[in-house]
């Protein structure tokens, strides 16, 4: 599998302080990331992915966003697009308007890879971020959140990718990957769902149990501290994971250590790698990677 990451900006990342998006409580306004530690955390993640036998592609940080006082989060390469991992990429339309330039810039890069490009139209009701999706390729199932995604945006992506099933979990996290991840076994099948049900609405809880009952899947229910947390106490981002066949790469341990033992029994190995500096801007492992 090919996995895309963005290089860091030459000017440094948020070197004049991190801004604040109104719906992202995890952004540490005014904080300046430690660049040396940030680069080390990034390299550690790349090394892990390579050792697992996957190819890394590194996109240059766009010059248009690399300035003395940039207002951007392009390093979270997950958000501007989603791929079917089979030659097609859907360019999204960011839920945060100030990030829509990232959609335009990633399109230019993806075109150099000779991918088939499908672009979400610039219409008011169409919004979607990659962090609001988890796509499980083998079973052709798309999971979506509904905070920075609109229902119209989620449906557009599902139709563009011709998925077998669209599952929408609506919770308080600004992105689905702040409180949910599937776990994939070596065969590529969904083996379990890890989710903070505390922040789901009742309709989504019912849908969650219907789906897992139909497929006979376990649910590992995690506390909000293992997800994004609250505006009063930021969580551990443990749910913000990159699920690869037989592997779940995460930035932190779950509060309940038995979850990793149960995942291992399902044939899924856990790898923990810190993303402390990325988390200052509200993102982690899933946010900074994107499968092609």
Q: Does position 171 have pLDDT exceeding 90, yes or no?
A: no
The pLDDT assigned to 11 comes to 85
Please, what is the average pLDDT of the chain?
A: 93
Kindly provide the residue ranges of all beta strands, DSSP E only, lying in the chain, ordered along the sequence. Answer: 2-6, 55-59, 81-83, 88-91, 116-119, 133-136, 141-144, 165-168, 180-184, 190-195, 219-221, 242-244, 247-250, 269-272, 290-291
What is residue 23's predicted lDDT score, i.e. its pLDDT? 64
| Residue 28: Cβ-neighbour burial (10 angstroms; 0-12, 13-18, 19+) | middle
From residue 19, give the alpha-carbon distance in Å to each of 23, 71, 227, 229.
12, 8, 21, 19
Per-residue model confidence as pLDDT tens digits over 243-290: 999 999 999 999 999 999 999 999 999 999 999 999 988 899 999 999
pTM: 0.94
Is the pLDDT score of 73 beyond 90? no
For residue range 21-67, list pLDDT tens digits in order.
Answer: 766 666 677 788 999 999 999 999 999 999 999 999 999 999 888 87
Domains with residue ranges and CATH for the chain: 2-291 (3.75.10.10)
| pLDDT tens-place string over residues 91-128 | 999 988 888 999 999 999 999 999 999 999 999 999 99
- Residues 25, 23: Cα–Cα separation, whole Å: 6
From CA 241, how far away is CA 248, in angstroms rounded? Answer: 6
β-strand partners of 109: none
* % of the chain residues with pLDDT over 70: 96
Contacts of 232 (CB under 8 A, 6+ apart): none
pLDDT at 172: 79
Assess whether pLDDT exceeds 90 at residue 210: yes
- The per-residue pLDDT for 68 is 59
Question: Looking at the predicted structure, is the pLDDT value of residue 69 above 70?
Answer: no
Q: Are 181 and 241 in contact (CB under 8 A)?
A: yes
Query: Percentage of the chain surpassing pLDDT 90?
Result: 78
List the strands of the sheet with 242-244, edge to edge. Answer: 242-244, 247-250, 269-272
pLDDT above 80 for 147: yes
Are the CB atoms for 219 and 212 separated by under 8 Å? Answer: yes
CA-CA distance, 243 to 94, in Å (whole number)?
23
Rounded to whole angstroms, the Cα distance separating 237 from 280 reads 11
């Amino acid at each position: 599998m090919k996995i895309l990451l963005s290089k860091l900006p030459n000017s440094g990342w948020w070197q004049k302080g991190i801004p604040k998006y109104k719906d992202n409580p995890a952004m540490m306004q005014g904080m300046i990331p430690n660049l040396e530690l940030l680069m080390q955390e990034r390299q550690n993640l790349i090394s892990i992915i390579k050792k697992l036998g996957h190819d890394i592609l590194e996109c240059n940080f766009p010059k248009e966003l690399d300035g003395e006082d940039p207002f951007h989060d392009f390093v979270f390469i997950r958000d501007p697009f989603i791929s079917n991992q089979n030659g097609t990429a859907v360019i999204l339309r960011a839920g945060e308007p100030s990030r829509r330039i990232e959609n335009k810039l990633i399109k230019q890069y993806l075109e150099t890879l000779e991918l088939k490009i499908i672009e979400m139209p610039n219409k008011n009701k169409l919004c979607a971020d990659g962090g609001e999706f988890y796509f499980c390729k083998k079973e052709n199932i798309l999971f979506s959140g509904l905070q920075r995604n609109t229902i119209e945006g989620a449906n557009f992506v599902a139709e563009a990718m011709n998925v077998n099933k669209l599952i929408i979990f609506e919770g308080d996290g600004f992105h689905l990957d702040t409180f949910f991840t599937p776990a994939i076994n070596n065969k590529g099948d969904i083996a379990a769902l890890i989710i903070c049900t505390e922040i789901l609405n009742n309709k989504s809880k019912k849908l969650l149990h219907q789906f897992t009952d139909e497929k006979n899947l376990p649910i590992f229910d995690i506390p909000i501290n293992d997800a994004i947390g609250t505006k009063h106490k930021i969580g551990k981002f443990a749910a913000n994971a990159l699920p690869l066949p037989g592997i779940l790469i995460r930035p932190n341990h779950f509060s309940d250590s038995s979850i990793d033992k149960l995942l291992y029994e399902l044939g899924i190995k856990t790898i923990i790698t810190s993303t402390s500096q990325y988390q200052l801007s509200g993102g982690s492992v899933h946010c900074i990677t994107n499968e092609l």
